Amino acid sequence: MTNRLRTEIQEEEEIEKKLIVEEKPVAEIPDNFLTQFLRNGVITTDDATRALPFILYVAFLGMLYIGNRHLSEKNIRDIDKISKEVKELSWEFKSSKAELAFKSTQSEVAKRADTLGIREPQQPPQKITVEEDVPQ
C-alpha cells in the first residue's frame, strides 16, 4: 500500500462508486431479407450452424475443383507447346535430310572433291587378277 491517509483512500473509493458505467445500447440487427429468413423462415440459426461443416466441405470441394481445372489447363497448354516444338523439329529434320541427300549426289561430291584437287578418273577402273601357282 502507499503512504496515504485513510480518508483519501475512502474518498477515492466513494468517487469510484459514484461513477456510473454507461452501457452502450445493443445494436439492433437490421430488418432485411436475410435476417427475416433466418429468424422466421425455413432455416433457423441452429440449423445454419449445424449445416456449417457441410458448407465448409462443399467450399473445399469447390476449391479442389478449381485447382484441378487450372492444373489441367496448364497441362493442355504445355502439350500444345510441345507439339508445336515437335512439328518444328520434324520440319528441320526433313529439310536436313533433303539437304544431305542433295549433297551426297555424285555430281555434288565431284564438285567438292574438285575444290580439294581430287579429280574424277577418265578411264574406267581395271580389275587386278593374281594368278596363284598351284602345286601339282
- Report pLDDT digits (tens) over 105-126: 988 988 888 888 888 888 888 8
Please indicate, yes or no, if residue 121 is contained in any of the structural domains. Answer: no
Query: Would you mind telling me the total number of residues written for the chain in this entry?
Result: 136
Per-residue confidence (pLDDT) for residue 43, from 0 to 100: 72
Confirm if 108 and 102 have CB atoms less than 8 A apart.
yes
The verdict on residue 9 lying in a domain is no
CA 44 vs CA 29, 35, 52, 58, 132: distances in Å: 15, 10, 12, 20, 117
The pLDDT value given to residue 4: 63
Angle at Cα 57 formed by Cα 55 and Cα 60, nearest 5°? 110
Let me know if residue 97 belongs to a domain: yes
**Digitized pLDDT (tens) for each residue of the chain, 136 residues in all:** 555 677 777 777 777 776 555 667 777 777 777 777 767 767 777 877 888 999 999 999 999 999 999 999 999 999 999 999 999 999 999 999 999 999 999 889 888 888 888 888 888 888 999 888 877 6
Number of structural domains the chain divides into: 1
Q: In sequence order, which residues have a C-beta less than 8 Å from that of residue 46 and are 6 or more positions away?
A: none
For residue 123, being part of any structural domain is answered with: no
Residue 81 belongs to a domain: yes
Its domain, for residue 45, covers 30-115
**Domain annotation covers residue 98:** yes
Identify the H or E element spanning 57.
Answer: helix 45-103
